[in-house]
Chain A
Amino acid sequence: MKKHLWKLGKTLLFWAILLLLLVQTNYVLRNKNLAEEVYCFYQEEPNSLDVLFVGASHIMCGIYPDLLEQNFGLKSYDCASSAMVLPQCYYQLLEALRYQTPKLVVLDASGSAFGDVKTGTAEYAHIQLDNFRFSANKIAAIYDLIEPESRKEYLFPLIVFHTRWKELKCQDLEPIVSDTRGAVVYTKQAVVGELPTLIPREDRTPLAEVPESYLRKCLDECRARDIPVLLLCTPTLYDEQTQRMYNSVDPIAAEYGVPYLNLHYSLDEMGFDLRTDMADEGHCNDKGAAKVTAYVGAYIMEMLGNNEN
């Protein structure tokens, strides 16, 4: 019996060490470009956030959680990643809600314009999914979002990134850290020619099937957990067609009874200048982000009924 136990223990120890080595190798070798936004979310204390922002790069560049805390006392995090389309947002939301129970979820509505896709490019999908902790939600996300022939590359990212051994730097061995709570600061200013015409808010085009269904899934999930939602669309220089898609979120928001802040129609109120406050066509720079954060913060405070604080 002792002999068998010794063999069993030895085997378990062997595989445990091997697993640890593989996990560490995976960490060292994987592409850490833009990883911190998703990865560092796990460093937040559980159930410590008041507001959870979920969305694409528009959120990362448009909302500064530090300013929100400084000015409104709201602790928040930008659970966002580049080109994160609404299906990805749905799994990001589920992942975030495993650790946090916020007073409000702010959902990026700009994903409504991404079309009938379940992920951005493979690189962007890796940025999000590789930085998820291993869980049933991660597996569900991979099985839902990724084509069958590529799933193994997300379940075992080493398949993709093992070739990075040639380009390893010291930073790859260091822990991923971020002090911006998911925000990305752009200081550059977009070169703006003619400003796009702002179309009437009633001018809409039907949403594609995939973004609409996942937007509804997000809203259903929050409703099921009794968490209020705010839909948000940060200012952009996009064309009229994209604006029409953003406007198409209005009837869904009305159907669910959730507010929808489409900031394209609040530029004057915010004091937002599209010529000076944008970093590029779709993202705010630091000046723009400060204005958006202040405006959204005030709106949230009002929404949460905390104006007196």
Chain B
Amino acid sequence: MIFTSLKFLTFAVLTLVGYFALPKKLRWIWLTALSVYFYLCVGLKYGVFLLVSLLSVWLCGLYVKKGRWVLVLTLLVNLGLLAVLKYAAFAVTNLNRLPFVAIPVPEFVAPLGMSFYTFLSVSYIMDVYRELSEPQKNPLKLLLYLSFFPHITQGPIDRYETLAPQLFEGHSFDYARCAVGLRRALWGFFEKLVIADRLGLLVDPIFAAPGNYNGMEVLIAIFAYAIQIYADFAGYMDIACGLCEVLGIRLTENFDAPYFSASVPEFWRRWHMSLGSFFRDYLFYPVLRSGWMRKLKKKVGDRKKANKLATVIALAVVWTATGIWHGSAWHYIAWGMYYGGLIIASELIQFKRHLPKPLQVLRTFLLVLFGYVIFRSDNLARAWEILVQLTRFGDSGANLGLDTPDLIVACVATAILLVHDILRIRGKRPGELVAALPLPLRWVLVYVCVLSVVIFGVYGPEYNAASFIYFAF
């Protein structure tokens, strides 16, 4: 059930109406039932994997104090399932390249949102193990945390301690909060349907056959992809957060004007923030504080050097994992290592920050664009082809996929997104600014936004309704 489908809109309305119509005590049950329904809409068989994760995590929560082996076993079950379903085919395909190896390639399909709910599971059991969270005795409540429909497909990866109390508490209806939430969801629809899916029409053909286009067109496609993926992912987040806001639930924010970052590490503190903090807390620090790392540090001797080495190793592990998490293909791993390399370099080399801030932002954005070439391409060969094509000039005569009116809409909508993010980096919340407007102006703004989505949105039978990009991860 795609967030931008009529089916989801109906589902969302039913969710809200049912939630506030039911007694407070029953509201979390309503959310659980709807989340399970939402998940099973994809296919009943996928529910089995969610159930396995739920049972293992629930039991682990209850018995983790019996010994560390319970934690390890649960991590193995959950990460093992993710590894087998998502990466087995990739691993076997690569193994088959070795001489005398011919293993049949398994045809597993990873269940929807598996990467996300597995990480939610990991964060829960780790927090219980570290005694940061109380174990949940009610498996249905845990099921709600894992399968909560606004976050199961694309995150954010909320911590149990932050999200669970909000889920189980029955929130009262609040008119102002409802209006704020609905406006945010509307903005999400604008980002997704007007910007992201429109730019997708330009990006897809160029990344599919870059040889048909000249350097300028390829450059436009890379730039457009940067806007597309941001509008797509942030659009999803705004719809999810907006809907939760109406319910009185606050999800973790995932974006904070990332393209205005002055450095690559800052970019990753502003982009997919919940994934970054997950890797920091459950991979980076555990690697850094592990026994073998302590031994390695001892061997190095010099404390400063030892710390640097440990940080570099931990960063390398984190960024390789980030790449692998995004997909089972070499270009994702290369993309993770590219960022790992940049961030390690920024750790090791102390840049003299003599560049003015706008140029730092531009430099970061260009580095991010380069990363997108690797990330968006189907494989590394295609990424190379795109980079080579950037140097080709002359008229390609190819169709850009968007006609002039569509390009104008894309530019205007992107400019609006830019203004939105400029407001954010200036410490203002666009949602609050709109809420502070006089009523008639606020309504006009909302009507314009609704009509923009309805008229200029890319949807309907003429289009192959694009799924959200992060559904794939």
Chain A positions within 8 Å of B, measured between CB atoms, are 7, 10, 14, 17-18, 21-22, 25, 29, 150, 152-153, 156, 158-160, 162-163, 165-166
Q: Are B6 and A17 in contact (CB under 8 A)?
A: no
B460 touches A160 (CB 8 A): yes
Give the top 6 A-B pairs by smallest Cβ distance, nearest first.
A159-B460, A166-B405, A165-B455, A152-B6, A7-B175, A162-B455
**What's the least CB distance linking A153 to chain B, in Å?**
6
Of all chain B residues, the one with the shortest Cβ separation from A149 is: B461
A interface majority secondary structure: helix
Q: With A and B bound together, what is the CA distance between A213 and B263 in angstroms?
A: 71
Is B62 on the interface with A (CB-CB < 8 A)?
no
Contact with A along B446-473 (1 / 0, CB 8 A): 0100110011110111100000000000
Chain B residue nearest to A161 (CB atoms) is B460
* Interchain residue pairs with CB less than 8 A apart (14): A14-B443, A17-B443, A18-B447, A18-B450, A21-B450, A21-B451, A25-B451, A150-B461, A159-B6, A159-B460, A162-B455, A163-B462, A165-B456, A166-B405
Q: Would you give the shortest CB distance from A142 to chain B, in whole angstroms?
A: 14
In the bound complex, residues from chain A placing their C-beta under 8 Å from that of B405 are 165-166
A58 to B: closest C-beta gap in Å: 29
Q: Inside 8 A of A152's CB, which chain B residues have their CB? A: 6
Check A17–B460 contact: CB distance below 8 A: no
How far, in whole Å, are A6 and B59 apart by their CA atoms in the complex? 51
* Interface residues of B, dominant DSSP: helix
Within 8 Å by CB of B455, from A7, A29, A156, lies A29
> Is B447 touching A25 in the complex (CB atoms < 8 A)?
no
Report the minimal beta-carbon distance from A25 to chain B, rounded to whole angstroms: 6
Residue of A nearest to B6 (CB): A152
B residues bordering A, Cβ < 8 Å?
Answer: 6, 175, 403, 405-406, 439, 443, 447, 450-451, 454-457, 459-462
In the bound complex, how far is the Cα of B454 from the Cα of A163, in angstroms? 10
B447 near A162 with CB under 8 A, answer no
- The reply to whether B460 and A163 form a contact with Cβ atoms under 8 Å apart is yes
Contact of B461 among A7, A10, A29, A153 (CB under 8 A): A153
Do B457 and A162 touch across chains, with their CB atoms under 8 A apart? yes
A-side contacts of B439, CB under 8 Å: 10
Smallest Cβ-Cβ distance to B409: which chain A residue? A165
Residue of B nearest to A13 (CB): B443
Q: Which of chain B's residues has its CB closest to A28's CB?
A: B455
In the bound complex, residues from chain A placing their C-beta under 8 Å from that of B459 are 159, 162
A285 → B minimal CB distance (Å): 35
Distance from B70 Cβ to chain A, minimum over Cβ atoms (Å)? 48
- B-chain residues with CB within 8 Å of residue A18 when the two chains form the complex: 447, 450
Q: Report A6 CB to chain B, min CB distance, Å.
A: 10
Which residues in A have their C-beta under 8 angstroms from that of B450?
18, 21-22
Residue of B nearest to A22 (CB): B454
Is the beta-carbon distance between B6 and A156 smaller than 8 angstroms?
yes
B447 and A17 form a contact (CB under 8 A)? yes
- CB neighbours of B406 from chain A (8 A): 166
List B contacts of A14 (CB < 8 A). 443
Which residue from chain B places its CB closest to the CB of A7 in the assembled complex?
A: B175
A126 CB → nearest B CB, Å: 11
Give the shortest distance, in Å, between B389 (CB) and chain A (any CB): 30
Q: Distance in Å from the Cβ of A59 to the closest Cβ of chain B?
A: 30
A112: min CB distance to chain B, Å: 30
Compute how far the CA of A21 lies from the CA of B443 in the bound complex, rounded to whole angstroms: 12
Choose one: B6, B175, B443, B460; the contact of A162 (CB below 8 Å). B460
| Min C-beta distance of B218 to chain A, whole Å | 26
Given contacts A21-B447, A25-B455, A165-B405, 7 further A-B contacts (CB under 8 A): A18-B450, A22-B451, A25-B454, A159-B6, A159-B461, A160-B460, A162-B460
Contact A162–B403 (Cβ < 8 Å): no
Cα of A152 to Cα of B7 in the assembled complex, Å: 10
A187–B175 alpha-carbon span in the complex (Å): 62
Give, as a whole number of angstroms, the nearest-CB distance from B443 to chain A: 6
Residue of A nearest to B448 (CB): A21
State the CA gap A10–B442 with chains docked (Å).
Answer: 13
In angstroms, Cα B6 to Cα A152, docked, is 8
Task: Tell me how far the C-beta of B465 lies from the nearest C-beta in chain A, rounded to whole angstroms.
Answer: 11
Given the complex, which residues of A lie within 8 Å of B456, measured CB to CB?
162, 165
By the criterion CB–CB under 8 Å, are B403 and A166 in contact? yes
Q: Do A162 and B454 touch (CB < 8 A)? A: yes
What's the Cα separation between A150 and B457 when bound, in Å? 19
Contact check, B460 vs A153: say whether CB atoms are below 8 A apart: yes
Q: Which chain A residues lie closer than 8 Å to B461 at the CB level?
A: 150, 153, 159-160
Chain A residue nearest in CB terms to B443 = A14
B residues near A7, Cβ cutoff 8 Å = 175
Residue with the highest number of chain A CB atoms closer than 10 Å, among B403, B460, B462: B460
User: What CA separation (Å) do A22 and B451 show in the bound complex?
Assistant: 8
Q: Complex: how many Å from CA A29 to CA B405?
A: 16
CA distance A18 to B461 in the complex (A): 24
